[in-house]
Structure 1
Amino acid sequence: MNRQQLRKSLLAQRQALSPQQREDAALQVLTHLQQLPELEHACNIGSYHSVRAELPTAQLNKALQAQGHQLALPVLHPVRPNHLLFLRVSETTVWRPNIYGIPEPVLACTDILPLAQLQILLVPLVGFDLEGNRLGMGGGFYDRTLAAWHAGRLPHLQPIGLAFDCQQVEVLPHAAWDVPLPRVITPAKLWDFRN
């Protein structure tokens, strides 16, 4: 299958999961995530607002905040098209839908948390393979976001994909600009591709 066919197939599998299966999966992913040594102390975590049958992040995000971590969620960059900025969020954050209908915090320069200050970045995905290659929705937002990390300029940043078990495939077709992930967490396990 080519990338578009594979994306369509994986999205259909994800969509076929019941709301209860999705919520149960999210709790299992949270359990794996909370066992990471990086989360033993409060840190800055980039996350996202799940949409379109993605692994639910609402409870996961609340749990991370309750544990004292500073959460930052993405907004579409107002000046650099197809790029993301991450903004600190709290209980008082004002949300609005972006052009894709995804809720994002209202942009305030004082809330921007640069990637250099994030320790962990949770990444959505459509599929991943046994080498950590990631298939996204096709917009390239996270490949652009992770380009500096991939080039070695953000050594303290730890990208981690979040996925359902059904999103894992043997091999993904990938392009030169695709950024593979060092780790992916599914309900079944933590996949570590760093070795």
Structure 2
Amino acid sequence: MSIKNEKLELRNKMISVRSKISTEERMIKSEQICSHIIQYIEGTLNLQQPINILMYMPFKNEVDITPFMSWCWKSGGTVFLPKVIQNYQMEIHLIKNLNEVEVGKFGIFEPKPNTSICNDIAQINVVIVPGIAFNQSGSRLGFGGGYYDRFFSRYDQLGLKVPYKIAVAYDLQIVEDVPIEKHDYMMDQIITEKGILLK
């Protein structure tokens, strides 16, 4: 079986597994995950500047990181959100509160058109990355669009340091093996409701 087909098979399986999470369970696990992210950023990363972080707006039963987003704003951090544009690219926008997002064409909340575009991606030092499945080596299986890998490759193309990549997931999304290709970026850390995964 080709890697592409292996990815498709695992993606379909994990989407089904994740769909069984109840709304109540999602809320509880998401709050636990947000708490672990805050503890990790405060206690381990020791950033020497206010955090400039790219996040995502949760879609369907993805981990809800909006409580962590609120913590960032209260802590003086800068929050960015992606907006999908043509050619499978993500345009990065500065977001000051959740009133600055709206439902986009894919049904996903995204920055409103009047929000500021981030033209200097070098200022982003952390990215919170969603996904379908992960393993204990930091491999990630996304939705198949390649948006995040394409975004991270921009740093390499510009000779910039790639931001610290923190994946968030429910523990049930951690699998033994994730098929990867050479263009797939590894995660620096994975955080579930049980805590940090990569030591």
TM-score band, normalised by the shorter chain?
0.7 to 0.9
Q: Note if 1:75 corresponds to 2:87.
A: no
Unaligned runs of 5+ in 1: none
Counting aligned pairs with the same residue, the percent is 24
Structure 2 residue aligned with 1:61: 69
- Give the distance between the partners of 1:25 and 1:150, measured in 2 at CA: 34
Q: Deviation at 1:29?
A: 1.2
Residue of structure 1 in register with 2:183 after alignment: 177
- Scaled by the length of structure 1, the TM-score of the pair is 0.87
- Give, in angstroms, the shift of residue 7 of structure 1: 0.8
Partner of 1:26: 30
Q: Which amino acid aligns with 2:37?
A: L
State which of 32, 40, 51 in structure 2 corresponds to 1:43: 51
The Cα shift of 1:88 comes to: 0.9
Question: Helix, strand or coil for the counterpart of 1:181?
Answer: coil
Deviations 1:163-191 (A, max 9, x none): 10001001111122211111111111212
Corresponding position: 1:101 with 2:107 = yes
Contact 1:49 1:58 in 2 (8 A): yes
SS at match of 2:128: strand
Asked if structure 2 preserves the Cα contact closer than 8 Å seen for 1:22 and 1:55, the reply is yes
Residue type at the aligned position of 1:155: K
RMSD: 2.3
TM-score, normalised with respect to structure 2? 0.85
Q: Deviations over 1:86-137 (max 9, x none)?
A: 2111137533332311111123474426321111100110001121110001
2:91 matched to 1:85? yes
SS at match of 1:12: helix
Deviation at 1:66, TM superposition (A): 1.9
How far apart, in 1, do the equivalents of 2:135 and 2:163 lie? Answer: 21
Q: Distance in 2 between the 1:163 and 1:188 partners? A: 10
* Contact 1:48 1:122 (C-alpha < 8 Å) held by counterparts: yes
Q: 1:178 to 1:158 in 2, by over 3 A?
A: same
Q: Runs of at least 4 residues of structure 1 off by over 6 A? A: none
1:5 alignment partner, one of 3, 6, 9: 9
SS at match of 1:23: helix
Whole-Å separation in 2 of the counterparts to 1:70 and 1:87: 11
For structure 2, list consecutive stretches of 5 or more residues without a partner in the other structure: none
When structure 1 is superposed on structure 2, of 183-192 and 31-40 the one drifting more is 31-40
Secondary structure of 1:2's counterpart equals: helix
Comparing 117-126 and 173-182, the one that deviates more: 173-182
Task: Report the structure, 1 or 2, having the larger helix content.
Answer: 2
